[in-house]
Chain A
């Protein structure tokens, strides 16, 4: 059962435009969400997180939005830069045993 879903396996965005990556979850017990960025042959790098008591968290070019009623979160990158080309994973710790559950990832390609 995929509790964290990223339904878009890939996304291409023009440099300078906004990139929007989406993530849906099914477990209403999730109360903390994280986004990771991963380059090929490297480990994922933590990007930004959001607690369920907020609906938005911003860090520089990265903003994460949380819609609890829709069980949906999104990562906005603006403006998009070539170095943002990577695979992005959303993740959430399960309330019961605290392990992180990851989505399947979205490959973002920024077109110069």
Chain B
């Protein structure tokens, strides 16, 4: 079974721009969660989608948004980028959300 894939792997943007990250979950997984990891920080939960609906949301500003498609693929969008948004963005999929999550390789976003 193919693992979780994320595209692109690396991205460089400038302040004020917006960015869209993509995640394809493991086949059959309906839950997709997004996390942000910054140096010295743990994994900060962004949001979770299940069957095209946002089911859970972390404490991030409204500039961070996401969506999930009928095939369970998910996208995350960050608008009006700030320097502090530079991080590794990780996507994880699972069958139901509260069980074992499997992570993709991440997208390294650098905001200049």
A residues with CB within 8 A of B: 6, 32, 34, 36, 41-46, 49, 89, 91, 93-94, 97-105
B residues with a Cβ closer than 8 A to A are 4, 6, 33, 35, 41-43, 45, 48, 55-56, 58, 88, 90-92, 96-106, 108
- Whether A89 contacts B43 by the Cβ 8 Å rule is yes
Judge whether A46 and B43 touch: CB under 8 Å.
no
- The reply to whether B97 and A105 contact each other, CB–CB distance below 8 Å, is no
Give bound CA distance, A32 to B45, whole Å.
18
Asked whether B41 lies within 8 Å of A104 as measured between CB atoms, the reply is yes
**From B41, which residue of chain A is reached at the shortest CB distance?**
A104
Given contacts A41-B108, A43-B103, 14 further A-B contacts (CB under 8 A): A6-B42, A41-B88, A43-B4, A43-B105, A44-B92, A94-B98, A97-B55, A97-B56, A98-B98, A99-B97, A99-B98, A100-B101, A102-B35, A105-B43
Q: Report the nearest A residue to B35, measured CB to CB.
A: A102
